[in-house]
Copies of this chain bind each other. A is one copy, B any other.
């Protein structure tokens, strides 16, 4: 079986999901997206740990690591380079917002081989625009990769030009938070800075890894409040996610950063 895309629903290959799933009805669930290289998921343990953390944040019983592992084993003969998506929903439920007494969470594992053809096309130096949508501030859901992603959909729909690789998102208080599908880092006065994500945004696994690895290298790493001016004034601007890794921002609207400063070392650190 040489698949381009395959989905396991609770461990069974399926193209369908019960229509009463609360993931569909309310976005009542969480997910992770990660890279498969040489047939192996990258940073698997960290991804599963963050998924379990996010489940706990919305009161969802996380599937056992052994279940994800069994799913992965089932797909492993088909895995080449690609993207893996893990989803946990609160499962099926009757009408109404109230979660069932004993919900039976549903897990999905989706593998896309086709995405692998797209990733190498993303240049190391990317062009970024500023989105007009402003993220809502909701501490209860901040940092979680949950299924309520209409803001990202609307922000991503703001541009279609393939010359633009990513959009920068600010919150309602005009603080810079992240890219539409990535986390933000800036290099400024010998410090690696990334926006605090206690009111909105998604705390990515690659973001956490980069902070930890840079810190272990003796770099000063800090979560801060960033204005758009801080970003424009930065010596270097970078975006990360678990699919593309780290990318240097060469252009942000009319601003141009001609040369990398620290991004190559940081990318190497992530890949080591």
Interface residues of A (CB under 8 A from B): 7, 9, 14-28, 31, 33, 58-59, 83, 85, 87, 89-90, 94-99, 108, 110, 112, 114-115, 133-138, 140-141, 146-157, 160, 172, 180-181, 200
Do the beta carbons of A97 and B17 come within 8 Å of each other?
no
Query: Do A19 and B25 contact each other (CB < 8 Å), given the known contacts A150-B141, A151-B141, A172-B137?
Result: no
* Residue from B16, B140, B157 within 8 A of A99 (CB atoms): B157
Do the beta carbons of B19 and A9 come within 8 Å of each other?
yes
Residue pairs across A and B with Cβ atoms less than 8 A apart, 7 shown, are A7-B20, A26-B150, A27-B149, A95-B110, A95-B115, A96-B156, A136-B137
**Residue among A7, A20, A148 with the most chain B CB within 10 A?**
A148
Query: Do A97 and B149 contact each other (CB < 8 Å), given the known contacts A19-B16, A24-B24?
Result: yes
**Residue among A27, A96, A135 with the most chain B CB within 10 A?**
A27
Do the beta carbons of B148 and A150 come within 8 Å of each other?
yes
Query: Do A150 and B28 contact each other (CB < 8 Å), given the known contacts A19-B16, A95-B112?
Result: yes
